[in-house]
Structure 1
Amino acid sequence: MPLFKCTFLGCLCPGVRRHGSCSLCNSHLCAKHLGQDFHRCPDWRVNEREYWLKSKEAEIAEITALLSKVNLRALRDRAAALRKVDCTVTPSYDHQSRPSVMGGMNYHIPIYFVDGVTWIYRIRRRNMTTTPLAHQNRLILSEAATYKFLSSRTQIPVPKVHDYSIDSPSNPVGVGYILMDKLEGKPLSNCDFKKAGKERILSQLADVFADLKQHPFNEICCLLDPDDLSVGPVLDESTIDADENGNLLLLGPFKSALEYRTSSIKHQIDLILRGESYTNNAIDAYLVHRFILDSVIESITQNEQGPFFLKHMDDKGDHILVDDEFRIVGIIDWEWAQTTTQSEAFAAPLYLLDVGLYYSGSNKLNPKEVEFASILKKRGEVGLAEHVYGGRVAHRLAHCVGADSGDIEDLPNHFMGLLRAVFPGRNEGETWEQWREGAMMMYEKDEDLQNLIQRCSK
C-alpha cells in the first residue's frame, strides 16, 4: 500500500513521495497528476516570486492551524512546574522571526522564565509534506533518546531535554513535543571561516568524532526509548512504508551492514516500481539501484562487520551552533540520527565538502576534508582519518540510494562518482551514457525493467 494516495478526484494511484506532496494546494499527487495539465501551483523554477508568495500564504495557514492545537496554558503550567519558576509562553511567526523559530521540519515556541532562562517547545510541522503521525511520534521519542544518550554518556555539547511527549489523548498540551534548553549561537553554515576559526572548528569536530568512537553499538538502528535507551528500527523517511491497512512499516534494526544496505536498496526498487519515487527518471534509477544491489554492495560492505556508531544524518552545518569565537555551543537537530557503519559514521560531514565540485561528480577531497583528516591523524586517530580520506564511497552511496532530488542530472553524477570510488581505475573513462547502454543490455530480460519501460512510454 502506498504511504500516500493521490488526492486527485477519482485517482487510485500512489502519490509520489517527497516531490508529489504539495503544501500550496494541500495535495498528494501521482506522477500523472503532477504534470502541468493537472497541477497548476507555481513552479519556483519558472515563477519564483509567485511561488514564494503562495508558499508564504500556505505557511501562515499551516502555523496558524498548528498553534490552534497547542494548549498554551497547559504548556506554560508544565514548564513552570518542571523548573518551579514562573514563565511566559509567547508564540511568534513573522518574516523577521521565522529563521529563529522554524526550520524545515520543526517549529519552536520560546518559553521565557522570570529568572532569565529560556527553553524551547519543539514541535513537528504539519503539512502535506510531513510523514504520518505514527512516524512523527517515533521521531520525537528517538530524538529525545538520542539527546539523553549524548548528554549522559558523551562530552558532546547538546541542549538538555527537560520533558517530551508524543501526540496522544493523554498529552494535555495537545501536540507532541520536546522541551529543551535554548542554546545561544549561530549556525556554522552561516559563518565565514577565518583561518583560526576553521582550525578551531575542525579541532572540536575531531573531539566529537573521537567521543562517538568510544560508544559502539551492535546493530544499525535508531534509539527508541528515552527511558531505557533501547534501540529500534531505522526512521529515515526513505525507509518507511505502510501495509494494506495503512499501518506504518519500518526497516531494522540490522545486525550487519550487508543486511541493512540490501534491505534499503530493495525497498527503493519497490518504490520505483510502484511509482512512488524517482518518477522523473524511473528507468535510470531502477538500473542504478539494481546494479548497486547486484554488483557493488558486497564490495562496499565486505569489511563492515561492525560495531556501528551514532551519526548525525543531516550534517550540512546548520546543526552546529557556534559563538563569535568559533567555539561550538551545541549540536542540535538529532531527529534522524541513527547508528551506521564506521565508514559512513566517520566520513567527513557534508559541510566540509566542496558542494559544486562534489555534485559535478568529482571525488576530489576539499582541502578542509584533508585538513580534518590530518588533525585526526596527528591525534593518533589513524582509523578515523582513513574514514575521512575514503569518505566518498559513503557520501556517494547515500546520494544514490533513495535520495530522489528531483534533478535528473544528480543521479548519473553521483553514481559514476560511486563507481570510481569503489572501483578506482576500472573503466575510468566510461561515461554515464556508455554505462547506461551496457546496463540496459545486462537487464534486457528483466521483467520489472520491461514493465517499467512500458509504463514510462505511455
Structure 2
Amino acid sequence: MNTLYPVKVPVIYAEEATATITSRTPSITYAIQTPRKPPYTRVVTQIHSSPRQILAILNNLDLKAIKEEVESLRSPHTCTLIDVPRTQAEIRKLTGSFNTHVVIHFEDGVKWVMRIKRKESRCMPEEAIIQCHKSELATLKTLRKYRVKVPASNEKPVDSSIRDDLLYFYQEFVDGVPSWKIFVISIWDEDLTPAGIRFINDYAAWTLRMEKVISPTAVGCLHDDGGILTVGPHIEKAKNLICDSPFTSGPFLSAKHRWLYSIECRMRLLLEKREYSPSQELLRFLKLLEMQELVLGCAEMDEGPWYLKHNDLHHGNLRVDEETGQLRGVIDWEWASFTCKAEAFAAPPWFGPGGDSASSTDIGKAGEQLVRAYEDLGRPDLGKLVRGGLKYHWLEGSVLGDNTSIQYLNAARRSFLGQPDTIQGEPDSEEAWIAMRITKHINHPGLQILLGRKPTYLFPEL
C-alpha cells in the first residue's frame, strides 16, 4: 500500500494563504562542550524517571550565559533570577515525561521558562528528537500568529554560547494550575463545578481559534525552514517507528494513511521481535489487525482538509485559573500534527465517564457540556463530532497505548461501527476474543508467522 509520499504542499489558513512549502530535513552537526561547574549545591539524589540525566542537565547549566542570552532576547529588561529547581518536589513539578524546565524572572515581573528536551527518556534517536524540537517551535509560532492561546516562544540564538548539545527554547511562563485542580477527574463522572463548566466553555472557544489552522492536502507536523512553513513528516508521540534515518515518514495523504502506517510499523516491529515478549505477541498482533480493519472502513478519516491536533491534552497541559476555571493557556506542543476534522475535534479522553466505563456512546457529563458549549457558539456541527469522537480515544489507546482489555476492544469496535452498547454477541472473555480473531484472520501472513512460532500464550484450539 502506498501510504506516504514526500510532496510539495501548501499550508492555508482561514484568513490568508501562504506560499507553497516543501519538505526537507536540515543537516545539523553537534559539538559537545565540557560544561562548567554548577554554581549551586546538588541536594537531589533521587528523582522519578531518568534522574541522572535530569540532574546532569540542571547541574551543568551555564547560568551566566543564560542570563546574557535572555537579556539579549528581551532587551532592555534585566533578568533578576534563574530559578533552578533544587529539591525533589521542585524538580517533579517542573519535569515532564520528555522535558524539564527552569523558571526565569525579569525585573518587571514577567517570567519565562527554559524548556529543555530530555533525551534519555525518549525512545527516539537524537536526529528524531531534533525534528520534534523544531516542529514544536514552528507550531507555537504559527499558533501565536493566529491568536491561539499558547505561550510566545524564542528559539536558541544562532550565536548562543550555551553548549551545542542542549536542545531548548524559551517561552512565556503560563500562570495557572493543571485543569484537574478545578475539573474533577471523571472517574465517577461527578457533577461539574461552576469552574469546570467555565473551563469547558473556554476550551470550546479555544478550539474555534484552532480551526483556523488548516492543511488542505497533507497530514503531518509543522516545520519552519528559514521562515517557510512546511507540512512535513508525522512525528509519532513518544516513539519513532522507523529504525533508520530520518526516523519519520510523511507527509501522508490522509489521516487514514497516517494511522494505517502507524499500525503497520508496529506490526513489523512485533514480527521482528522488537516489541513484546513471546507470551504477549499474539494478542497484541490481533489487536493491531482489528484496528487496521476498523481504520480501513472509516470514511471520515479520508475527508480533508486537515486540522491541527495537540495530541497530548492531559490535565497538566491545560493551564487554568484555580478559582474561576478560566483557560489561561495550552502548553507542550511537541506532538502536534494535522489530522481529519473528526479526530481534531474529538474531546480529550478524560472528558468521558471514566472508571470502568467502556462505552461507544456515553461521552460523560463533561462531554455533554462541551456539546452544549459548541451549540451556544453556533457550532452544533462540532458537537456532533464530540458525540462521534470516542472512536479516536479507543484507537489511540489501542495503537499508541497498550490497552488490551476485552471491554476496551469491544468498545473500540462498536464506536467505529456506530453500534450501541447493548449489542449482543460480543466476546465476553479474552480467550473468546482471540479465538474469533484467529478464525477471522487465519490467512494473514503475519498471523501465520506468529502461529508458526508456537506462541506460549494459550489460545483455544480451532
Say if 2:230 is the partner of 1:234: no
What is the SS of the residue equivalent to 2:297? helix
User: Which of 410, 426, 429 does residue 425 from structure 2 map onto?
Assistant: 429
Query: How many aligned positions are there?
Result: 396
Say if 2:317 is the partner of 1:337: no
Could you tell me whether the CA contact under 8 Å between 2:307 and 2:340 is conserved in 1?
A: yes
CA displacement 1:16-60 (0-9 Å, x = unmatched)? xxxxxxxxxxxxxxxxxxxxxxxxxxxxxxxxxxxxx99638654
Displacement of 1:340: 0.8
Alpha-carbon separation, structure 1, partners of 2:258 and 2:96:
29
Alpha-carbon separation, structure 1, partners of 2:328 and 2:379:
24
User: Which of 269, 275, 285 does residue 271 from structure 1 map onto?
Assistant: 269
**1:157 corresponding residue in structure 2:** 149
1:104-123 equivalences in 2 (<5 Å): 104-123=97-116
Letter of the structure 1 residue corresponding to residue 231 of structure 2: V
CA displacement 1:107-130 (0-9 Å, x = unmatched)? 111222233222111001232545
What is the SS of the residue equivalent to 1:395? helix
Could you tell me whether the CA contact under 8 Å between 2:153 and 2:171 is conserved in 1?
A: yes
Could you tell me whether the CA contact under 8 Å between 1:120 and 1:180 is conserved in 2?
A: yes
What is the SS of the residue equivalent to 2:316? coil
User: Which of 89, 92, 97 does residue 90 from structure 2 map onto?
Assistant: 97
CA displacement 1:151-183 (0-9 Å, x = unmatched)? 111x321111022379x9986465111101112
Displacement of 1:242: 4.0
**1:250 corresponding residue in structure 2:** 248
Letter of the structure 2 residue corresponding to residue 228 of structure 1: I
What is the SS of the residue equivalent to 2:229? coil
TM-score scaled by length of structure 1: 0.79
CA RMSD of aligned residues (A): 2.8
Displacement of 1:190: 2.6
**1:32 corresponding residue in structure 2:** none
Alpha-carbon separation, structure 2, partners of 1:220 and 1:402:
18
Using a 3 Å threshold, how does the CA distance of structure 1 residues 302 and 325 change in structure 2: closer, same or farther?
closer
Could you tell me whether the CA contact under 8 Å between 2:360 and 2:391 is conserved in 1?
A: no
Letter of the structure 1 residue corresponding to residue 70 of structure 2: A
Could you tell me whether the CA contact under 8 Å between 1:107 and 1:125 is conserved in 2?
A: yes
Alpha-carbon separation, structure 1, partners of 2:249 and 2:176:
36
User: Which of 71, 81, 91 does residue 80 from structure 1 map onto?
Assistant: 71
What is the SS of the residue equivalent to 1:249? coil
Letter of the structure 1 residue corresponding to residue 144 of structure 2: S
Say if 2:139 is the partner of 1:140: no
Alpha-carbon separation, structure 1, partners of 2:233 and 2:432:
38
TM-score scaled by length of structure 2: 0.78
CA displacement 1:308-348 (0-9 Å, x = unmatched)? 11111111221111112211111111111111111110001
Could you tell me whether the CA contact under 8 Å between 2:301 and 2:340 is conserved in 1?
A: no
**2:409 corresponding residue in structure 1:** 415
What is the SS of the residue equivalent to 2:169? strand
Say if 2:299 is the partner of 1:313: no
1:213-228 equivalences in 2 (<5 Å): 213-218=211-216, 219-225=218-224, 227-228=227-228
- Answer 1 or 2: which has greater helix percent: 1
What is the SS of the residue equivalent to 1:229? strand
Using a 3 Å threshold, how does the CA distance of structure 1 residues 103 and 258 change in structure 2: closer, same or farther?
closer
Bigger relative contact order, structure 1 or 2 (CA pairs below 8 A, ≥6 apart): 2
**2:259 corresponding residue in structure 1:** 261
Alpha-carbon separation, structure 2, partners of 1:322 and 1:185:
5
Using a 3 Å threshold, how does the CA distance of structure 1 residues 233 and 273 change in structure 2: closer, same or farther?
same
CA displacement 1:200-257 (0-9 Å, x = unmatched)? 11111111122222322122111111733322111114662344xx523212111223
What is the SS of the residue equivalent to 1:281? helix
**2:460 corresponding residue in structure 1:** none
Could you tell me whether the CA contact under 8 Å between 2:221 and 2:234 is conserved in 1?
A: yes
Alpha-carbon separation, structure 1, partners of 2:155 and 2:53:
25
**2:167 corresponding residue in structure 1:** 176
Say if 2:278 is the partner of 1:282: no
Letter of the structure 2 residue corresponding to residue 364 of structure 1: D
Using a 3 Å threshold, how does the CA distance of structure 1 residues 325 and 425 change in structure 2: closer, same or farther?
closer
User: Which of 389, 392, 401 does residue 390 from structure 2 map onto?
Assistant: 392
User: Which of 53, 61, 65 does residue 62 from structure 1 map onto?
Assistant: 53
CA displacement 1:258-296 (0-9 Å, x = unmatched)? 322222221111122122334462111111212332x32
Could you tell me whether the CA contact under 8 Å between 2:65 and 2:162 is conserved in 1?
A: no
Could you tell me whether the CA contact under 8 Å between 2:360 and 2:415 is conserved in 1?
A: no
343-352 vs 184-193, which deviates more?
184-193
CA displacement 1:382-422 (0-9 Å, x = unmatched)? 221110011111111111223225xx53xx33221111112
What is the SS of the residue equivalent to 2:315? coil
Could you tell me whether the CA contact under 8 Å between 2:317 and 2:330 is conserved in 1?
A: yes
Could you tell me whether the CA contact under 8 Å between 2:352 and 2:362 is conserved in 1?
A: no
Gaps of 5+ in 1: 1-52
Letter of the structure 1 residue corresponding to residue 148 of structure 2: I
Displacement of 1:73: 2.3
Alpha-carbon separation, structure 2, partners of 1:344 and 1:416:
20
User: Which of 107, 120, 125 does residue 127 from structure 1 map onto?
Assistant: 120
Alpha-carbon separation, structure 2, partners of 1:57 and 1:211:
36
Alpha-carbon separation, structure 1, partners of 2:287 and 2:307:
27
Using a 3 Å threshold, how does the CA distance of structure 1 residues 438 and 135 change in structure 2: closer, same or farther?
same
Could you tell me whether the CA contact under 8 Å between 2:241 and 2:266 is conserved in 1?
A: no
What is the SS of the residue equivalent to 1:282? helix
Displacement of 1:306: 0.4
1:293-372 equivalences in 2 (<5 Å): 293=292, 295-301=293-299, 304-323=302-321, 324-358=323-357, 360=358, 363-372=361-370
Could you tell me whether the CA contact under 8 Å between 2:347 and 2:386 is conserved in 1?
A: yes
Identity %: 24
Displacement of 1:361: 5.5
Using a 3 Å threshold, how does the CA distance of structure 1 residues 376 and 302 change in structure 2: closer, same or farther?
closer
Alpha-carbon separation, structure 2, partners of 1:351 and 1:448:
34
